[in-house]
């Protein structure tokens, strides 16, 4: 493996999806307080009328499930699925980590911008940021660089591109590109003012969920942060169970001394991104095996310790 190796990054893909949505908001193509049906008219007069695009971007839909149901086999099934769905809790009251919600945000953004999602990402996010080897569909010429992934018990596997995979967890990229994306989040590369505002907007906290502040997909913790808080914020319960939230009014940008993070995994890959805005420092971890989140966190803390970063528990 080397700097040209392509890795699946799983849910870190969501940070790219929400960057496109934030760009659309900055250009007036969509509004965060609008319901999905404003842009996908087939979803009007459904329970989603009570759900805002902000809810989709913050996992606060009221209980959208982690995955689509098994009867959603093709893209054509999606509209019927979303029309039938009803939130078990009031939108904005609980955080439930979900692929369908960010996937729907991707569909809404594409409809609002009158384009095809992957093309819009390339035109307005990855290409302007100089992410030259970040792909939803790996080109034939890049296939030799695509790492083989392995499950936790060592079986070879690669991601299956099911409905909403492109929008929710389907990106493949290199360590160099992902680190450049972190540099863009830190304001260290030259991008258009509109795109930079969009990236900054994705980091703004909207809800408190336990020890973690939920921004637009990104999650952050004021420093110093304890081992216990990181464990809770990245634990199975935070992914698999509803977590009560408190809305931040007004929304809150991450403090200069805060840890902004996102985990990502597929069946055969594991990844982690973290950065500290005020210190202009960040890291990316990428592996072609689905190591548990706790293992990735431990390694990240070891790296930060080696870099003499204060406020993050040493291992």
CB 66 within 8 A of CB 97: yes
Please write the tens of the pLDDT for every residue from 248-263.
Answer: 999 999 999 999 999 9
pLDDT tens-digit map of 64-101: 999 999 999 888 899 999 999 999 999 999 999 999 99
Cα separation, 33 vs 92, in Å, equals: 12
- Three-point CA angle 100, 172, 300, nearest 5°: 90
Looking at the annotation, which residues are catalytic?
Answer: 11, 97
233 contact partners, CB below 8 Å, separation of at least 6: 209, 210, 211, 212, 219, 221
What the block records as the tokens of 297 is 């966190």
Q: Is 115 exposed, middle or buried (0-12, 13-18, 19+ CB in 10 A)?
A: middle
Provide the pLDDT for residue 170.
97
Domains along the chain?
6-156+163-179 (3.40.710.10), 197-307 (no CATH)
For residue 1, the model assigns a pLDDT of: 82
Contacts for 228 with CB less than 8 Å, ≥ 6 apart? 211
The overall pTM is greater than 0.85 = yes
pLDDT value at 310 more than 90? no
Residue 61 has pLDDT above 90, yes or no: yes
For residues 297 and 281, give the distance between their C-alpha atoms in angstroms, rounded to a whole number. 16
């Amino acid at each position: 493996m080397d700097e040209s190796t392509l890795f699946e990054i799983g849910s870190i893909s969501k940070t790219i999806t929400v960057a496109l949505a934030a760009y659309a908001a900055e250009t007036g193509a969509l509004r965060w307080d609008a319901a999905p049906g404003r842009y996908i008219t087939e979803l009007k007069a459904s329970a989603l009328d009570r759900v805002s695009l902000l809810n989709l971007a913050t996992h606060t839909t009221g209980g959208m499930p982690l995955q689509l149901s098994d009867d959603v086999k093709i893209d054509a099934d999606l509209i019927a699925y979303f029309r039938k769905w009803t939130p078990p809790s009031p939108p904005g009251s609980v955080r439930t980590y979900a692929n369908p919600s960010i996937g729907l945000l991707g569909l809404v953004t594409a409809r609002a911008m009158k384009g095809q999602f992957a093309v819009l990402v390339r035109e307005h996010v990855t290409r302007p940021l100089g992410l030259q080897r970040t792909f939803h569909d790996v080109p034939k010429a890049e296939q030799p660089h695509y790492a083989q992934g392995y499950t936790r018990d060592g079986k070879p596997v690669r991601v299956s591109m099911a409905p909403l995979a492109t929008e929710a967890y389907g990106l493949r990229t290199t360590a160099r590109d992902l680190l450049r994306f972190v540099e863009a989040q830190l304001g260290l590369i030259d991008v258009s003012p509109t795109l930079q505002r969009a990236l900054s907007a994705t980091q703004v906290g909207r809800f408190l969920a336990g020890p973690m502040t939920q921004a637009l997909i990104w999650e952050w913790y004021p420093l110093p942060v304890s081992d216990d808080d990181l464990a809770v914020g990245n634990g199975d319960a935070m992914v698999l169970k509803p977590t009560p939230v408190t809305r931040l009014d007004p929304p809150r940008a991450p403090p200069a001394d805060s840890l902004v993070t996102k985990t990502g995994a597929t069946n055969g890959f594991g990844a982690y991104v973290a950065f500290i805005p005020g210190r202009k420092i960040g890291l990316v971890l990428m592996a072609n095996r689905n190591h548990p989140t706790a293992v990735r966190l431990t390694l990240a803390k070891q790296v930060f310790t080696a870099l003499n970063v204060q406020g993050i528990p040493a291992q």
